Each structure stands twice: as structure tokens, then as C-alpha cells.
Structure 1
Amino acid sequence: MSTPTGSPVATSLKDYLLSKADEYGVRDRNARRKEWLEAVGGLLDQIRGWMGEADPEGLLDVIPYQVSRSERGYGTYDAPALQIRFGPAEVTIEPISAEANTSLDVALERNQSATSTARTAGRIDVSNGLRTCHLFRLQRDGGYEWSIRRPDGFVKLDRAEFESVLKELLA
């Protein structure tokens, strides 16, 4: 049996799936999606740790939940997210995309005159519904780091930067 183009047709579903897996990028997609979800989960764990240190009395309500995303090259998946409540204020931390489709020239922190090209490898939004702060996972110098987009550029995400964002959004 052959297709209208004359190429042979796989004899079983298994043969068909194996023959098309690389063409459709299924194997790569699963690996990319797993790596992205591990990065998101790691950041949310870090954030929960920072909040636990800053809030030993448990004044914040931190509620984990899932968001559904569908992205070309990643398929449809459920990603972890957080909702933070403090009194009447509410902030969500949600992954938006594993691919932000942007190349960035980022000034190196130790030498503002030097630049290196960084590629965005994901975006997470921290929002109170009126204001949103974008966290970008930047790939550069052979590794990844989470950074906050500020008006004057990108700042590496650390506890102090996160606390600053959270205070601003909870106000």
C-alpha cells in the first residue's frame, strides 16, 4: 500500500508513530516541555521558600493551582502556578510561555559596558490584575537564570527583588 505521493504506508500504528515521531518533533517536544515544567516548578519552590522566610507567622495565603497552556513545539500541558492572598489583595504567579520569541542584548551585571546576547527561554507573569511584572528565564553563557524586566533593563531575580515586586503588587 502507498500514499498518493507513492511513499509506502506504515503497516501498523506502531510503525506509523515511530516513522512520524521525529518528523513531528514529538520526542523533542516531550523533553522541552519536561525541562520547562521543571524550571517553572523550581522557581515556584524558590518563591515559596522566600515567602516562608519572610512570613513565619503565615499571614499570606499561598495557594498552588494549575494553568493549562498550549504552545507550538510544546503541545498542551498543565503548569504549576501560585495565588498569594494578603487581606483584600491577591497576586497570581503564572507561567505564560516557554518561548518568548525574543533575542535580547543584556548588559552584564559585572561590566555594564559589555553585552552578551541572551535568549529568552520562558516567561512568568506576577500580577495583581491591574499591574503585571514579567519574569524571564534567560539563557546565556551556557546556563539559565530568572530575571525581572525593569524599565532600565533586566535584573537578576533574587529574594530582595521578588519581595520588592510582591510588596508593590500587594499594596
Structure 2
Amino acid sequence: MEYPKPSFRLLQIDGIAVVHQAFGDCTDVYGMSSDAFDGILGLGYPGATSDGEKLVFYNMWSLSLIPQPIFSFYLNPDPTAASGGELIFGSVDSTKYTGAIVYIPVVIQMYWEFIMASVQVESTIVTSSAYAVTDTGTSLILGPTPSVAAINLALGGTYDSSSGMI
């Protein structure tokens, strides 16, 4: 598949001006035709780009626009809240969590892929030592059929024949 060449623009995120940012316009995204969205902000590794463009996070860091080379998410568990969550570049908001942050190594630097010790639903361990990818852009659980079937069984998931999904 051939992708159109990105344009370069000034991108502003919460008052941070990122100059000469590669930006690809999306008018059609496979599998998202009925979903309402404004766009996709890719936060993957540099190898995920089609022509080696510098992704916005790496551009922000290289231009010294953020204090640390990290980003963090807060996903609000309250579905009635005005804000569904936050994306924070360059730091974390310590008011959004308790305890200590535990860093784990990324095992494949194409996506944010890591090894989980286990997946547990209540007191039932449904799979152990599994590879996982953190992706805030999806609500899907994808993986080996036996592992996903065990998770769905533990959660009480049912098959939806209209979508072909559990």
C-alpha cells in the first residue's frame, strides 16, 4: 500500500508549539468508518512511520519542549465525567494515582510491547507470561485464541453475530 506524503505543519498541543511537524491527513481509516473521531495521534516508535518522519513526541523532546522524555495517560473511570482523561507530555500527574510507578522493559520497539506476568479476572488467572501491547487507541482485546477465550469466559462475554466479536 502506498501512503500519501505527509505535510509539515505547526502543531499546537495545550500551548506547546511543535514547529515543522510531519502530519498526515486521514480521510478514511479502515475499520473506523462509523466511529466519530477527529484524528489519530500516533505515539509509537520511530520505526512505525512510513518514511522515517519524526513523530510528535520525539519532535517535542528533540526541540526541548518537554522536561522529560516521557508521556502519561489518565483514563477516567467515570463515564459521566466531563473529561474522559488526559494525555500528559513530559511528566506524570501524581494526583491521578497512588503507590509507585513500576517501569517495565519494552520488548519490541515497534509498538509499546511488553511481557505481562499474568492476566487475572478477580481471583482467576486466565493466562500467564503473555506478550501485550499498550494502545490507548483501541478498546479491543487481541491475542492468542485460547487466552482471549479464557478472558471472555471469566468476564462473561458473549458472541455478537452482527459484528463477529465477543
Q: TM-score range by the shorter chain?
A: under 0.3
Greater Rg over alpha carbons, structure = 1
TM-score, normalised with respect to structure 1 = 0.22
Task: Considering fraction of residues, name the structure with more strand.
Answer: 1
